Amino acid sequence: MRILVLGATGYLGGHVVDRLRALPSTRLLVGGRSPDADVTVDLARGGPRDLAEALAAAAPAVVVNCAGATGGDAVTLAEVNARGPAALCAALRAAAPAARLVHLGSAAEYGPGTPGLRVTESDPTSPAAPYGASKLAGTVAVTASGLDAVVLRVGNPVGPGAPSTGLPGRVAALLGDAGRDPDATLRLGDLSAHRDFVDVRDVARAAELAATAVGPLPPILNVGGGEAIPVRELVRRLATAAGFRGRIAEAGGGGSARSAQVSWQCSDITAARDALGWRPSHSLDASLTALWAAAGARSARPEGVPAP
């Protein structure tokens, strides 16, 4: 089976590639703008005709789209998260209409949740910021495409390799800078929100199951931890994993702009269990331990020395 992964150089995409590469009888292709890519594609700016030509040459049985932007202005977010999936679907209809498309969406598409409740795939969507709105537009393009497609609405990913653009990775970087100095102070914004954290390796496993499942799948599946965790608790546990001995100073404001209006986020993951046999296999503590182990290894390397 030929599987094409788009966005393979990103946080989620890298873990998805690692997971799919281990599948037997699978030819894994990586698509992107890099000269090292097996298939040259640019979802943000490429026309459907050019994309269709590239897809026809690759002849994938499955396309896993991990490409996406989490930051930038509204135009950038729309180009990558909304236009990209729409162009991809148009190209697939022309060049590989029988291929399965697995698209990574975001729980941010739901917008503010109701404290104490888990959101299901059939609940209304009301994204609170351009990021969630752009991801929702991408989801609509996929679900309305008529293709054999499924959108995995991913919660807040955490685990090894988490980038500093997200809270877990940013806190890990700050902890690395602080070391074990008992007088160090970790200065953060408001940590009162609740988030549904899911290990990035569990997301990759969900993508694998969706890519290889026999028969049609529901159009949207939530992929999360299924539990709302106080962000303050995540920071405390990560600081414990790092052996941090200093003080955590929390101030009002200063958090993520795109999540400032969302105090509660929690996904019902029953449908993913029923359709894929998937459920999270990593605890939050295991995710944070792996995150810190990877971040600590990076910070311990002398400048200029690459990872092994």
Catalytic residues: 131
Give residue 224's Cα distance to chain centre. Answer: 10
Q: Residue 62 to residues 28, 69, 103: CA-CA distances in angstroms?
A: 10, 22, 11
Q: Which residue has the tokens 């944070």?
A: 288
The DSSP bridge partners found for residue 248 are 186
**Residue 117 parent element (H or E):** none
Written as six digits, the tokens of 28 are: 């894994």
Give the residue among 112, 7, 97, 13 at the shortest CA–CA distance from 59. Answer: 97
Report CA Rg, the chain: 19
Written as six digits, the tokens of 237 are: 């546990």
Report how far residue 38's alpha carbon sits from residue 166's, in angstroms, rounded to the nearest whole number: 29
Report how far residue 238's alpha carbon sits from residue 160's, in angstroms, rounded to the nearest whole number: 12
Give the three-state DSSP class for 134: helix
Quick one: CA torsion of 20, 26, 31, 37, rounded to 10 degrees? Answer: 100
Report how far residue 78's alpha carbon sits from residue 100's, in angstroms, rounded to the nearest whole number: 24
Q: Are strands 148-154 and 100-106 parallel, antiparallel or unpaired?
A: parallel
Read off the DSSP letter of residue 61. S
